[in-house]
Structure 1
Amino acid sequence: MIANWTNLLPLGIVLSSLLPGLLIFTLREEQTRLRIALNLFGVMLKLGLVGLMLWGVAQGLEFRFSLPFLPGGDLVLQGDALSLQFVSLSTVLWLATTIYAIGYLEDAPLRSRFFGYFSLCVSATVGLALAGNLVTFLLFYELLTLATFPLVVHRGTPQALRAGRIYLTYTLGGGALLLMGVALLHSLTGSPEFSAGGYLQPLLETRSVSLILAFALMIAGLGVKAALLPLHGWLPQAMVAPAPVSALLHAVAVVKAGAFGIVRVVYDVYGVEPVQALGLHLPLLALAAATIIYGSLKALQQQELKKRLAYSTVSQVSYITLGVALMGPIAAVGALAHLVHQGLMKVTLFYCAGNFAETLGVHRIREMDGIGQRMPLTMTAFTLAALGMIGVPPTAGFISKWYLGLGALESGWPIILLVLVISGLLNAAYFLPLIYRGWFAAPKTEWPAGKAAHAGRPGWRETHWMLLAPTLFTAVLALLAGILAGTGFSPLGWSELIINREFGL
């Protein structure tokens, strides 16, 4: 009985959002209460199941679901420390973003279609996180592309359709490259389950050329979703999507899927020693450093708030790849902690941008003057998240950047400290003016009362509570992740547990 429970739990976590999503597709637009109930039921069920798996892993239980799929490559879902970190982030942010999306789309058309694909997107993300081998990872990676495309084009405007075409071109191309890399490795080894230290060491002497080619193909395919140079072009274009979609794309669903895939390939397919022996970490390190600086420079040039945040994502997500490519345990801890920290901070920033746009019609930076006087709670959340992105202590962003800096020194790459300093200064250059405008600049015109659907009760200066509550929730989580970084249950503490396993410490 225990075996059945531990075998089925990973599948249950995937189905907890998949089945409600499929049911939501069948609902009429006016069935609002039932749609909300299905959304919240799926969220709460997934939270409970993930909590159960976390408890089980802490008790030493193993969770694994397997189904025959391909010769030498089963469909495998498993719960290990790394997958649980990503699943936990996905589930918590799905809860927050579901509440946000319900308020954001209160009177919008095509809500059943939106929330159906929204649930499928989360299912694909969670399946990808729980994937136990490359074949399973590839399957959910492609399903994620198909589930997010309708969300990007949801509004149906010419700009949205154009952004969708660009998104599909990039991500399907990336998926094809990943498929070729996985197929090449599969021809050499089959698709064994992910394991600490990788499983390619025996092939180093005889198949080094094939291993280098497979690595290049997979990193290129994963680099599309991770927005590495020069494969990032889809991300700023996708900002025409509704704010809940932007938050999902940037915080967990798409860009994190690419970064998470790079972590899996480096640590659990190749292993640290083979990657170093083949010299594969050097171009990856250079690419990550270049993307960090490029994204920051491009963010500085943007005058539209969501596009500035989009280019900030290009830069910030590459910290994860940078930490992995440094090949040391301290930098790796910083990278994995940043996977969570960046998600919490960036989802907060996109919630805030959505609040500004939906409540006051603010889309451009010059329109933010004095907005903190009109929406003080939203602007407080924006300030906390922005300071975290800059790396101001004691925020979560400071913690991950501190570990990346220490890791650079540990790995013998002091020049990476310069990259981190330059990036931090550029982060300050494009975030501090927004904070100044919001709190200290005088409004150029009188603020409107706010859109009817989101203005809140009479005299209420903020946005609708369903937009505000998730914003404050994730802002507080981002702050606590920094303040409580020294505890074992923090993202940093969990990252140390993962890396101790990977490096055998």
Structure 2
Amino acid sequence: MDSTLVLLALLVPLVAAVLIPLAGGQPNLREGITLASAGILFVIVASLVGPVLSGARPELGGFEVLPGLVVGFRVEPLGMLFGLVASTLWIVNSIYSIGYMRGNGEPRQTQFYVCFAVAIAATMGVAFSSNLFTLFLFYEVLTLSTYPLVTHNGNAEARAAGRVYLMLLLGTSMLLLLPAIIWTGILAGTLDFAPGGILAGKAGPVLTGVLLGLFVFGIGKAGVMPVHYWLPAAMVAPTPVSALLHAVAVVKAGVFTLTKVVVYVFGVENLASLGTADWLAWVAGFTILAASVVALQQDHLKRRLAYSTISQLSYIVLAAAILTPISLVGAAMHIAAHAVSKITLFFAAGSVHTAAHVDHISRMNGIGRRMPWTMGAFTVASLSMIGVPPTAGFLSKWFILEGAFSSGRWVPVAVIIGSTVLNASYFLPIVYRAFFREEEPHPAGAHGHHGHGEPHAHDTHAHGGGHGEAPLPMVIAIVVTASLTVLMFLFPGLPLGLSEAMMETRP
């Protein structure tokens, strides 16, 4: 029964991708198919949670492509958590997308929903893969299926961003990740993920360090500097795509893959005993602080959020590098906490763009009074990014700090404290500006839609240029994700249970 559910989780988004274009001429039916598929996928994925928490590991026997290369699926706790996050947020993002794509009169909406569904199918494949080969295949499908979304606007800027996106993501995975996987297979004699890792005792400190480096920089989606440029470049895409890239699928697939490799390929105890992951804490720490400093200097809201994402992702890398069970629980928790918080921030950015045609922070004075729901949600998510209770971001930071303290790692402690101050420095002024500054009179659409990273809103006046909130579906989506950010703090049982189960060594 459970293996059927795993198969259905992979098939439902693909079936949606086939049905959506058939309904292309009827937008209500097309969006109905998207929402129904998202709902069905969530029910399927959610029904796997119970078995996984009680120790089952649902499998789907794979087929052998070449001798030793099997496409197979096995749901373990970390993959369960990632699958649950992605399937939950697909529903909310679909509701939001309906309001955004229609509200901004976006072109090629059918293509948008098709690519989105394929990307979700690829995400499920990444989450549930039982070996490195399967993970690699779906990781690549995810890159290719999101490329048309990044270049959605079809202008020169979008095409240039798409080139950076493909070149960096395909380049890192072909030149670094693929050799790392092949090398691992040769050393370990298997590519299957296993609790405790498959490389323990198979490679010395130097070789292990080299392999870890290939994985870290080969998994370009994790956005560790210097392979992070694709992320800010991809901000030319419509906001629902930014939300997909940052919260649901792409970057999460990156940090998920990295965490999975540390836990199930290298093994936490193995890496700790060899002492070859110390450099990773420095690289992650540098990325956290450098990206935060760059974020401070961005006036374009989505670009500031993009650099914030690069910084926040490296929290997960840092937590993995600390190599204590509690810090890895923090890493897994941060995957979920960052997802609900960051999607809220991007939703808010898109709502402000749609309702007020403002994309720049310097023009957001007083916008919180016109859009209290949107900016209220933005405030909640900002507090989560900073790590203030009662938000999800506080919990994951707490676990990462606890791991750093317990192992006497003072560099990560200093990095987390420093970055918390920086996070506050680039989020709180936006909140202050929105609620406590007087609104400046400016002509509707005066330069808001020329900024970097959003489509031109030609119909400035057609949908009430600049009065009140964004279309209702968008507001509903923002309130839901902001609520999830608080609920995850109040009721952390499910993500925490899965995160802790990941660290158990039973097969």
Pairwise same-fold verdict (TM > 0.5)? yes
Contact 1:374–1:447, Cα closer than 8 Å, also in 2: no
* SS in structure 1 at match of 2:92: helix
2:414 is equivalent to residue 395 of structure 1:
no
Q: Deviations over 1:217-254 (max 9, x none)?
A: 222111x1111011111111111100000011111211
CA shift, 1:33, in A, is 2.2
User: Hey, what does 1:254 align to over in structure 2?
Assistant: 250
- Which of residues 475, 482, 485 is equivalent to 2:489? 482
CA shift, 1:98, in A, is 0.8
User: Hey, what does 1:62 align to over in structure 2?
Assistant: 57
2:472 is equivalent to residue 465 of structure 1:
yes
* SS in structure 1 at match of 2:195: coil
User: Hey, what does 1:407 align to over in structure 2?
Assistant: 403
User: Hey, what does 1:495 align to over in structure 2?
Assistant: 499
User: Hey, what does 2:453 align to over in structure 1?
Assistant: none
User: Hey, what does 2:330 align to over in structure 1?
Assistant: 334
* SS in structure 2 at match of 1:201: coil
- Which of residues 79, 85, 89 is equivalent to 2:81? 85
Contact 1:454–1:463, Cα closer than 8 Å, also in 2: no
Tell me the distance in 2 between the aligned counterparts of 1:130 and 1:414.
35
User: Hey, what does 2:199 align to over in structure 1?
Assistant: 200
Tell me the distance in 2 between the aligned counterparts of 1:466 and 1:336.
30
User: Hey, what does 1:218 align to over in structure 2?
Assistant: 215
CA shift, 1:186, in A, is 1.9
Identical counterparts, % of pairs = 41
Where do residues 83-482 of structure 1 align in structure 2 (5 Å cutoff)?
A: 83-106=79-102, 107-176=105-174, 177-204=176-203, 210-222=207-219, 224-445=220-441, 451=460, 455=464, 461-482=468-489
Residue identity in the other structure for 1:127? G
Residue identity in the other structure for 2:132? L
Which structure's relative contact order is higher, taking Cα pairs within 8 Å and 6+ residues apart?
A: 2
2:42 is equivalent to residue 35 of structure 1:
no
* SS in structure 2 at match of 1:220: helix
Gaps of 5+ in 2: 446-458
Q: Deviations over 1:140-189 (max 9, x none)?
A: 01101100100000010111111000101100111112111111122233
* SS in structure 2 at match of 1:69: strand
Q: Deviations over 1:97-144 (max 9, x none)?
A: 011111111232211111110101111111101011000000001101
Tell me the distance in 2 between the aligned counterparts of 1:41 and 1:339.
26
Tell me the distance in 1 between the aligned counterparts of 2:326 and 2:42.
30
Residue identity in the other structure for 1:482? F
Contact 2:80–2:498, Cα closer than 8 Å, also in 1: no
* SS in structure 1 at match of 2:157: helix
For these two proteins, the number of residue pairs brought into alignment is 489
Residue identity in the other structure for 2:477? P
Tell me the distance in 1 between the aligned counterparts of 2:384 and 2:266.
33
User: Hey, what does 2:454 align to over in structure 1?
Assistant: none
* SS in structure 2 at match of 1:77: strand
Residue identity in the other structure for 2:36? F
User: Hey, what does 2:456 align to over in structure 1?
Assistant: none
TM-score, structure 2 normalization: 0.92
Q: Deviations over 1:300-344 (max 9, x none)?
A: 011110000000001011100111110111211111111100111
Tell me the distance in 2 between the aligned counterparts of 1:348 and 1:178.
31
* SS in structure 1 at match of 2:412: helix
Tell me the distance in 2 between the aligned counterparts of 1:317 and 1:133.
23
Return closer, same or farther for 1:14/1:49 CA change in 2, 3 Å cut-off: same
Tell me the distance in 2 between the aligned counterparts of 1:174 and 1:71.
26
Tell me the distance in 2 between the aligned counterparts of 1:62 and 1:441.
53
Gaps of 5+ in 1: none
Tell me the distance in 2 between the aligned counterparts of 1:41 and 1:279.
49
* SS in structure 1 at match of 2:218: helix
CA shift, 1:192, in A, is 3.9
Return closer, same or farther for 1:164/1:83 CA change in 2, 3 Å cut-off: same
TM-score, structure 1 normalization: 0.93
CA shift, 1:414, in A, is 2.2
Tell me the distance in 1 between the aligned counterparts of 2:254 and 2:51.
27
Contact 2:355–2:468, Cα closer than 8 Å, also in 1: no
Return closer, same or farther for 1:34/1:158 CA change in 2, 3 Å cut-off: same
Q: Deviations over 1:337-375 (max 9, x none)?
A: 111001110000000000000111010011100001100
Contact 1:160–1:240, Cα closer than 8 Å, also in 2: yes
Tell me the distance in 2 between the aligned counterparts of 1:408 and 1:124.
34
Contact 1:100–1:467, Cα closer than 8 Å, also in 2: yes
Contact 1:181–1:213, Cα closer than 8 Å, also in 2: no
Return closer, same or farther for 1:447/1:87 CA change in 2, 3 Å cut-off: farther
Return closer, same or farther for 1:345/1:156 CA change in 2, 3 Å cut-off: same
Contact 1:128–1:136, Cα closer than 8 Å, also in 2: yes
